[in-house]
Structure 1
């Protein structure tokens, strides 16, 4: 008999019934029991229900499995060797982007969810990343679509059950004008079946075929895959492109109620069978839509802060702090047991939909133009009226903050490090993309080779090449990685940076960024001050704390301390950040 938390079990019953109907409930509950028998209750016994899910020591590296390539060994082993040599005392978790056999989109057109691409290594190499408490492993559940070369889709095309019912068929004359599109490619793909030509739904590309979650068999396929990943060491599960999961003709087919129910069910099953696992949703959409995936604290444990990368980029490009600070001031605390996943760069571009409602049109257009002047590219999405809108900027975050023709300048490095220090300061868990960690410039040769704009920030490195760069103290890669290690070391020791610690915006003059972070028990505070401009700026004591003069202060980044009465106004150099502990 399955012995579980009865409250969670009842919650799961309610969600399954709401999604598929009361008549289906007995069969689905029986299948839940089968999953429990297959994978066991408490699949990750080292992370029991109720453990602290995160603290200020947590930081996640985002990387491809072959981001580092050594001679004579699988790339996953080269990656682990690099991490152990440079980051073992700095990062707590590693997000290995899809490492499965795939046919396109650098891993996100999955052919087989249960295999490791042999060009990268094997499951032992994946599990080694998390062995002996090295790193917590984050794995993608690519849940919206599969490769057109997968067995699922082949069986669909050949009319073989059960997969012939796994995909979404649409009649040729169906009106799909209301559907929200993240791409400009045709939404439907023709495919020959024993019953003739059929049109199937393909949100992202014709090689990535959307699955049909209105069929409960599809849900249980993914529940099985989810628990398979947990059994193989995953401790954080990222739900890729989950916002588009459920389709109902006549709607916009994004963020539908049924999509949220599926996320709730995934959360329920984890809470029942693998408590302690963290669920993270990836929804590159405007802020209010994005945080909807917290639900009432019963959906994702973490959501990406998708508005942060473009807002922070705009602030540092223009020296204008208003829009960034307005957003920070308006941030509501996440529900109890939830937090944000903060980042500035990823394998994808810098999303622009999350700027909707936050930046005036003229500022938006100017930002896009400035990034193009720096060698960046733009990916587009199609609107219901047939027009196109910029969807994301394709540029490395390091080059995005450089000056044209001066990519390796001290100013560019200072601006970049300012952006990263602000990201590390915000409430939540920080995520750091590998190419940001080593100050990667735009990979234009890669774009030319693949013909894809996103390749610009997906450069892969030879291990020897990378070690040479990091061994040269004047190289941006060496300088940036060294500062990252130092900042993360300081951050790990400060309980005020705990993801559950409250955050409050400070009211500072133009050009300045400021927040206050507080230890969850209220015992201590850190004030974060940043100069977003190319000119020195001054902060008055009363703008930091009403009794500033009566306190003793420590500045954690520069390493000085002193009595407030002796300090007077604080002087911030261009792009300087202070962590002030009072």
Structure 2
């Protein structure tokens, strides 16, 4: 929209741009800047309009966007234009992702490029390469303590190697996903080092205080993230004789976004990686971007304004690039990271569906779907042009942060139920086959999280050790069941490296001094590629899992009802061990798929009378897309074997 004040400023800014910028061909840039400038100006003014240097900072913001556009290749600009013309491209059922650590999946980035055919073999076309930027050897937080935002860690390669990966991916229509850590830097980052040397400009990049007065005011409301290893939210720095805000680990210094220079620096970094061929940027720890005394300093309104501003600026320079919000927060909060617009995502197009992940594990432990149903019912509707990233496991721990009201509505007492889940997945519960580890147990609250690979949590590790074929089969079926939900729920399914091969816990981290105090490394395995060849040998666990998931992915891509256009209807049924929902194609309502899954270790029955008029007409010929056969029926009931699922459609 046209607005006199903002566009008068824009005209002044364009007159003041560096001559080397003005000489460039910026036609598309100026078109997008004009369309987005009022929003950009309004957001920047809301955040920083009180500052005397506002106009100077606004000029630098526009120059940063222009420089990013100038440095964008013609190939990437062509992709931008193509995606602008098909703006819902990422909502297609065609996308299936995988997350991995470079040095866990391969030996290096160059080796990762050579292993690209593996993704094609399985059907993966979106690959999240976990943090690859320079970080300290011993204080890395799994790669999330960045010491140089523009340099790849030389232990896995360099920028030329990443360009080769991006090129190999583009040849095969595979999206490249990389992390940008927005909230903090390593204390070894150049900015932190200059702050330690006493430079006031860089001390203003962080939260630094001479005494405990202000830190104590913050601490009154801020929770502790790693209360066992790094209690509190501030660390005393000997060099500066100051307290530094360190919400995560004591070597990760929180950035001060009340300083506009910090925002512009981080936007410049976002655009730099967009110009290296990255399709999707995973923005880490976005819930923590704005700190405010008297609050938890999470999910603050200004954190959302920062993300909206970054998205608007990125759309001017690189509109084909998507944002993922890494915000593991309550459903009522996570939905806000899509943005406030009723339709268009104005912050991040994609967000992690951590709630669904935790609910699925609850179903495995309890063998029923009461809480799963309750949680899905209360999952807020997403925006039309936004989507979930649905996953069963990731590199991190599992937290059971369900809404207490949902837990009570399911017939459980919240504290006791969470304790049961922790005991179950850590193998302390009698007859549990799970082999997980407790993470960050809090003596005061009793809260804890769980670490462990998908296969080990599903019982495959213990079943293999006991050479129990019945339990091995049950574990495989659990793994396939869980993936059948994330493939069909609505959103982009994200597999984790090794899960398609049944890779179990990696206990070797305990012998590594830099990792031994962080049990999350147990579920960050190194792929044994000789063993991975077993995926081609019938009768092996690897073959069964890999080919089961490969088949599932192929069917998903062919099923238009699995595209994500808010086209899911959860069905209430009488059997608490089953979950049932319908997916439909909004453009062709007759194209419908009914998903039914049995979370119990025993056969279960679904009364067809309860489904009368709900989605699928069982008087017609109904077939399961996964097996190609009709479901077993008896006396107007569908029979599901233990951990069986159906994707049913009429033919």
Aligned counterparts, 1:122-521, within 5 A:
122-131=158-167, 132-134=170-172, 135-160=174-199, 162-170=201-209, 171-173=211-213, 174-175=216-217, 176-184=219-227, 185-186=230-231, 187-193=233-239, 196-296=240-340, 297-354=345-402, 356-359=404-407, 360-373=414-427, 374-380=434-440, 387-402=444-459, 405-407=462-464, 409-449=472-512, 450-451=515-516, 452-463=518-529, 465-508=530-573, 509-521=575-587
Number of equivalenced pairs: 571
With over 3 angstroms needed to count, the CA separation of the structure-2 counterparts of 1:295 and 1:475, relative to structure 1, is same
- More displaced 10-residue stretch of structure 1: 484-493 or 547-556: 547-556
Per the alignment, residue 25 of structure 2 pairs with none
With over 3 angstroms needed to count, the CA separation of the structure-2 counterparts of 1:79 and 1:568, relative to structure 1, is farther
Q: How far apart, CA to CA, are the structure 1 residues paired with 2:358 and 2:275? A: 37
Per the alignment, residue 467 of structure 2 pairs with none
1:61 equivalenced with 2:98 (yes/no): yes
1:236–1:280 CA contact under 8 A, matched in 2: yes
Task: Give 3-state SS (helix, strand or coil) of 1:204's partner.
Answer: coil
Per the alignment, residue 640 of structure 2 pairs with 572
1:498–1:520 CA contact under 8 A, matched in 2: no
Cα offset for 1:17?
Answer: 0.7
Task: Give 3-state SS (helix, strand or coil) of 1:358's partner.
Answer: helix
Choose the corresponding residue for 2:39, options 4, 7, 11: 11
Q: How far apart, CA to CA, are the structure 2 residues paired with 1:409 and 1:353? A: 30
Q: How far apart, CA to CA, are the structure 2 residues paired with 1:352 and 1:458? A: 20
CA displacement, residues 373-409 of structure 1 (integer Å, 9 cap, x when unaligned): 1332222276xxx935535211112211217832571
- More displaced 10-residue stretch of structure 1: 293-302 or 319-328: 293-302
Task: Give 3-state SS (helix, strand or coil) of 2:142's partner.
Answer: helix
Q: How far apart, CA to CA, are the structure 2 residues paired with 1:469 and 1:76? A: 24
Q: How far apart, CA to CA, are the structure 1 residues paired with 2:248 and 2:404? A: 21
With over 3 angstroms needed to count, the CA separation of the structure-2 counterparts of 1:207 and 1:476, relative to structure 1, is farther
Q: How far apart, CA to CA, are the structure 2 residues paired with 1:28 and 1:567? A: 72
Larger gyration radius, structure 1 or structure 2: 2
Aligned counterparts, 1:65-104, within 5 A:
65-69=102-106, 75-88=108-121, 90-103=123-136, 104=140
Task: Give 3-state SS (helix, strand or coil) of 1:548's partner.
Answer: coil
Task: Give 3-state SS (helix, strand or coil) of 1:310's partner.
Answer: helix
1:581 equivalenced with 2:649 (yes/no): yes
Cα offset for 1:31?
Answer: 1.6
Cα offset for 1:462?
Answer: 4.1
With over 3 angstroms needed to count, the CA separation of the structure-2 counterparts of 1:284 and 1:501, relative to structure 1, is closer
Choose the corresponding residue for 1:107, options 143, 148, 155: 143
1:378–1:393 CA contact under 8 A, matched in 2: yes
CA displacement, residues 43-96 of structure 1 (integer Å, 9 cap, x when unaligned): 4321332423311010111011112335xxxx2232233331353560111100
1:30 equivalenced with 2:59 (yes/no): yes
2:325–2:337 CA contact under 8 A, matched in 1: yes
Q: How far apart, CA to CA, are the structure 1 residues paired with 2:460 and 2:365? A: 9
CA displacement, residues 93-128 of structure 1 (integer Å, 9 cap, x when unaligned): 110011011121121111111111121112232233
Gaps of 5+ in 1: none
2:382–2:566 CA contact under 8 A, matched in 1: no
1:121 equivalenced with 2:157 (yes/no): yes
Q: How far apart, CA to CA, are the structure 2 residues paired with 1:521 and 1:411? A: 38
1:156–1:164 CA contact under 8 A, matched in 2: yes
Q: How far apart, CA to CA, are the structure 2 residues paired with 1:521 and 1:129? A: 37
Q: How far apart, CA to CA, are the structure 1 residues paired with 2:640 and 2:100? A: 34
1:69–1:461 CA contact under 8 A, matched in 2: yes
Q: CA RMSD in A?
A: 2.4
- More displaced 10-residue stretch of structure 1: 361-370 or 291-300: 291-300
Cα offset for 1:39?
Answer: 1.6
Q: How far apart, CA to CA, are the structure 2 residues paired with 1:381 and 1:250? A: 26
Choose the corresponding residue for 1:539, options 587, 606, 629: 606
CA displacement, residues 311-349 of structure 1 (integer Å, 9 cap, x when unaligned): 111112221111101122233331121111111111101
With over 3 angstroms needed to count, the CA separation of the structure-2 counterparts of 1:86 and 1:246, relative to structure 1, is closer
Q: How far apart, CA to CA, are the structure 1 residues paired with 2:287 and 2:604? A: 42
1:95–1:139 CA contact under 8 A, matched in 2: yes
CA displacement, residues 415-447 of structure 1 (integer Å, 9 cap, x when unaligned): 111111111111111111113222221112223
Gaps of 5+ in 2: 1-13, 15-28, 408-413, 428-433, 465-470
Structure 2 length-normalised TM = 0.83
Task: Give 3-state SS (helix, strand or coil) of 1:87's partner.
Answer: helix
Q: How far apart, CA to CA, are the structure 1 residues paired with 2:370 and 2:264? A: 47
